[in-house]
Chains A and B, each alone.
Chain A
Amino acid sequence: MAFLDNSGDIILDAVLTDTGRLRLAKGDGSFNITKFALGDDEINYELYDKNNASGSAYYDIEILQTPVLEAFTNNTSLLKSKLLSISRTNLLYLPEIRNNATEGIAPNTTNNIVSVAVDEATVTSLEVNSVLRAGIINGFELDQNNADTRRLLFDQGIVSNALGDTGKVALDADLVETQYIIEIDNRLGYLANPDGNPATASFVDDDNIASYFLSLTTNSEYFSDSTLTSSDVLAGPAGYRLRLLVGASTNLNSSTYLFTQLGSTSTIGSTNLFHIDTTIRVTGATTGFRVDIPIRFLKQQ
């Protein structure tokens, strides 16, 4: 993945992604481009110097000199940050999506990462006084995760209270996120609603990344009943809270194969464990903001 030559005219380097080629090869009409998005993955807006003494022409001089990398073909690694269309130009604040690790599940204090126990033996071995340690999701029996402190929570809203406090001032309706795309490695786990019922993946790509599309209108059980009136990670106007669980795949539940192939070993208390680290990606389908949550799947050795 080299840099593109930027010494002359602006050129476009276009490639089909692996998913694009897969769909083209299927020949079933699923290769159908219907929309586009623009991205700015390489841009670091911290380089925008709006106080540059030389004038406005110099505000973005460093950004415009940013070298751009060649296109590559992994569909999930590209367009991590998209440009956003909002017809108004007078916005000074935009809502973000924040993982709420205070009211929701927080990283386990031993390994400092939210973990998922993949089978019954692992759950039992990680219990203290018959209660699963904090920071660990029971990935074997999801309905046992019956408190928000066992669930992943994502709050959408403005972090600062410059526009007013959460619950006092409403987030502009056109900035409220009502659709999410959740991506998870399908070999390792699956998505479930807060009650533990598995969701149906919209698509599993050639790299085994499953995409779940959740919408307020059709998947309301994942969303808070109304926009938030308080949040430990937001101070300003807020949208909805997304609540979800992660279950362990049958592969992880029944075999150590993937653990030996992709994972490593660790210890919690006196329990020796296999583990695999992965990431769950939560992207707002409307606003494009995204947050990646590291997750560790645990299996007793």
Chain B
Amino acid sequence: MATTFKTITANDVTNTRTLLHEAIPLTGTIASGTYNDDNIKEFSHGMFQSVYDYPFLSSSANHIFDVTHGYSSESALSGASSVQNSKKINIYNQMASVLVGHDATGSIQRFDQDGNIAAGGAKLNEAFFLNFSRLLSKDEIKKDSFRMSFLTGGTPAARTDALTIGDFGASTSYLVNSPAGEYGILYTSSATPNANSGVGLLYYQAGVAVLTGSIFDGDMGPGVTSGSYNALATGSNINVVADSIRNRLVDIDFNNTVELNSTIYFCRANHNEFNYSANPTYLSSSQIRVKNTTSDNPVSYITTVGLYSSDNELLAVAKLSEPLKKDPNTELTIRVRLDY
């Protein structure tokens, strides 16, 4: 019986899972300077800034991360006299609610320095939040790949004291007690990781870095002529605080992860299959062009593989980069991978 289709059996299909990683290097100047802040989008509500890789009015601009700042209502910085006090508390609570969760009474838990929430301990009451776009973080940030450098000292005009922060050792020591997935503790490169040396938290699947404000010991500016992080956090609005951390950013590097689920179809053409063609040029007055006599082998050339449903609808198609010769002397297995 002549046929154009071949059934795919259970032995011809397999599923695989692959983790793909991309290196994401972000230079600090993209966040402050390269485009004269035309790539920094501020909103009328003033609760965060969005950083783009190109002036955001351009259709080719991509959103890369957001910057915001907040503190807990239990922070020493919280007070009626603080600028945008309620918004800073709201931001902190929103992020904590999503990333840390609630306790048994339904109260929002605060960010914990060592991640051991149940044990209490030091809390990160004041924090910067860097929320990375899914375009960059994809399915998750790869553990122990995140490095971020700041100039934490000096003045806005003369920044000093480079400090590299990273999730050192996180590939074997990440935490899983967050409702937002896995997270690691951010340490300074100069500190030996221990329970009390964390300066922030990195949520891998959520793509959020939480950074304590206390690492900045210099005059952060702008908007404050002199003074510490504390003065800025209480005396300026969120946009100005975000300006300050952008101004001190040197670079950010990490690898993202894409979880690729694939179905592989092995399309097997045996020696006695697919040797003829229904191509309109295959026949001349019904005679097969590639044969002179009946004893010549039929030949066909494969350029396309079509995957069909049982009702003959074409669901997926694969093209070979060059024609593949098929005759009774050859058997082929073409491996078609569909990624999801």
Q: Which of B252-279 contact A (CB under 8 A)?
A: 265, 267, 269, 272-279
Q: A32 vs B13: C-alpha distance in the bound complex, in angstroms? A: 12
**Residues of the B chain whose Cβ atoms lie less than 8 Å from the Cβ of A33:** 8, 13, 265, 307-309, 315-316
Main secondary structure of the interface of B (DSSP, over half): strand
Check B338–A92 contact: CB distance below 8 A: no
Residue in chain A with minimal CB distance to B337: A14
Map CB proximity to A onto B301-324 as digits: 1 under 8 Å, 0 otherwise: 111111111111111111111111
Asked whether A36 lies within 8 Å of B288 as measured between CB atoms, the reply is no
Q: A45-B277, A96-B286, A159-B286 are in contact. Are A35 and B308 (CB under 8 A)?
A: yes
Bound Cα distance A96, B287 (Å): 10
Interface SS majority for chain A = loop
B286 close to A95 (CB less than 8 A):
yes
Question: Chain A residues with Cβ under 8 A from B272's Cβ?
Answer: 85, 87, 89
- B318 — which chain A residues lie within 8 A by C-beta? 12-15, 71
**Contacting pair A60 B299 (CB below 8 A):** yes
| Complex contact B3–A286 (CB within 8 A) | yes
CA distance A290 to B316 in the complex (A): 21
Q: For the complex, what is the distance from the CA of A59 to the CA of B301, rounded to whole Å?
A: 13
Taken together as a complex, chains A and B put the C-alpha atoms of A9 and B291 apart, in Å, by: 29
A79: chain B residues at CB < 8 Å are 304, 306, 314, 317
Contact A39 B321 (CB under 8 A): no
Which residues from A are CB-within-8-Å of B274? 38, 83-85
Q: Is A133 an interface residue (CB 8 A)?
A: no
Q: Which of A37, A67, A93 meets B306, CB within 8 Å?
A: A37
Which one, B303, B307, B337, contacts A42 given CB within 8 A?
Answer: B303
Cα A93 to Cα B283 in complex, Å, equals 8
Q: Could you say which of B281, B295, B325, B338 contacts A16, with CB atoms under 8 Å apart?
A: B338
Q: Tell whether, in the assembled complex, residue B316 and residue A86 are in contact, meaning their CB atoms are under 8 Å apart.
A: no
User: Interface segment, B36-44, B150-158, B190-198, B328-336?
Assistant: B328-336
A16-B315 contact in complex given A43-B281, A45-B277, C-beta closer than 8 Å:
yes
Is A224 interfacial (CB-CB < 8 Å)? no
Residues of A near B273 (CB, < 8 A) are 85
Contact with B320, one of A68, A83, A92 (Cβ below 8 angstroms): A68
Q: A16-B315, A81-B278 are in contact. Are A30 and B309 (CB under 8 A)?
A: yes
Chain A 123-164 residues near chain B, CB threshold 8 A: 158-160, 162
The answer to whether A40 and B323 touch across the interface, beta carbons within 8 angstroms, is: yes
Report the interface size class on chain A. Answer: 35 or more
Complex interface bits, A210-252 against B, C-beta within 8 A gives 1, otherwise 0: 0101000000000000000000000010000000000000000
Smallest Cβ distance from B164 to chain A, in angstroms? 40
Partner pick for A10 among B2, B279, B308, B320, CB 8 A cutoff? B320
User: Which residues does chain B contribute within 8 Å of A30, judged by CB atoms?
Assistant: 309
Q: Which residues of A contact B338 (CB under 8 A)?
A: 14, 16
Closest A residue to B269 using CB positions: A38
Which chain B residues border A175 with CB–CB below 8 Å?
2
A211: chain B residues within 8 A (beta carbon): 312-313
> Given A64-B325, A96-B283: A82 and B316 within 8 A (CB)?
no
Query: Residues of B with Cβ closer than 8 Å to A?
Result: 1-8, 13, 265, 267, 269, 272-283, 285-295, 297-326, 328, 334-338
* Cβ contacts A to B, 12 pairs, < 8 Å: A4-B320, A14-B318, A20-B314, A35-B8, A39-B304, A67-B322, A78-B314, A79-B317, A86-B275, A90-B294, A91-B298, A205-B313
Which 5 A-B residue pairings sit nearest by Cβ, starting from the closest?
Answer: A288-B278, A39-B304, A20-B315, A14-B318, A288-B4
